[in-house]
Amino acid sequence: MNGLLKEIESRRAFRGISDSPIEAEVQDRILTAATYAPSCSNKQPWRFIVANNDDARQKVQDGLLGGNYWAKKAPLFVLAATKPDLDCNLKENREYALFDVGQAVMSLQYQAVHEGLVVHPMAGFKDEELKKLFNIPDDYVLITVIAIAHPGDDTELSDKHKELEHSARTRFAREQVIALNQWKFEK
């Protein structure tokens, strides 16, 4: 789409990755980008654990669910967590910390794509196991585990994932997700 930032237009959660290391300076820029995200009253409720050595990476690998087999090659994982009282206390139980962490993860993703990397947030992990392995307190929510890697090939992917890797990007039609001036969606 003409006019979109290249990083927005090209970002996809690819699975064909390489195990080549990611330079320390690049890792630093990616993580700094995450910390520059906006947040409610500048509370910055995100907490990131960087797993970039063999021991920490093994912990993440052990905590991934089967569908994320492909991610085990990643040289870098980032675990994103928060707890509600780190952020604005809003009425009606709106847990704004989750939104703010989402913004930080998106900033991280765009910087990673800008660096020429594949970045893939995952929900398929053993929450309690990873929290224990990384000493994350019980009152924190481990929201996502993000695999970051250089692009690779699809030779080790399942047939299903190979197909997804090469398929066209699909998005809902704008009218399915955007309404002008009032609610027009199914309830």
DSSP 93-153: G--HHHHHHHHHHHHHHHHHHHTT-EEEEE--B-HHHHHHHTT--TTSEEEEEEEEE-B--
pLDDT value, residue 96: 86
Contact in structure between 102 and 68 (CB atoms under 8 Å): no
Residue 159 falls within a domain, yes or no? yes
Task: Supply the range of the domain harboring residue 43.
Answer: 6-177
Is a pLDDT exceeding 90 seen at residue 187? no
Mean per-residue pLDDT over the chain, rounded: 91
Q: How far apart are CA 128 and CA 136, in angstroms?
A: 9
Residue 7: count other Cβ atoms within 10 Å of its Cβ.
14
Q: Residue 114: give its domain's CATH number.
A: 3.40.109.10
Confidence of residue 12 (pLDDT cuts 50, 70, 90): confident
In Å, what is the CA distance from 141 to each residue of 85, 86, 159? 11, 11, 33
- The answer to the question of residue 53 being in a domain is yes
Q: Identify the pLDDT of residue 150.
A: 95
43-89: pLDDT as tens digits: 999 999 999 999 999 999 999 999 999 999 999 999 999 998 898 87
* CA-based torsion, 171, 175, 177, 178: positive or negative: positive
Q: Is residue 183 part of a domain?
A: no
With respect to residue 185, please indicate whether it lies within any of the assigned structural domains. no
Instruction: Confirm whether 182 is domain-assigned.
Output: no
Tokens 């224990």 belong to residue: 132
Q: Can you give the pTM of this predicted structure? A: 0.91
pLDDT tens digit sequence for 84-118: 889 887 777 778 899 999 999 999 999 999 999 99
Q: How many domains does the chain have?
A: 1
75 is a domain residue: yes
| CA distances to 52, 55, 92, 144, 184 from 179, in Å | 42, 48, 24, 29, 6
The pLDDT, as a whole number, for residue 1 is 59
Rounded to whole angstroms, how far apart are CA atoms 47 and 35?
A: 10
DSSP 8-state class, residue 9: H
Per-residue pLDDT, averaged over 157-174, amounts to: 83
Assign residue 19 a region: left if phi > 0, alpha if psi is -120 to 50, beta otherwise?
A: alpha
CA distance 74 to 57: 8
Residue 184 lies in a domain: no
Q: Which amino acid is at 169?
A: R
| 97 inside domain | yes
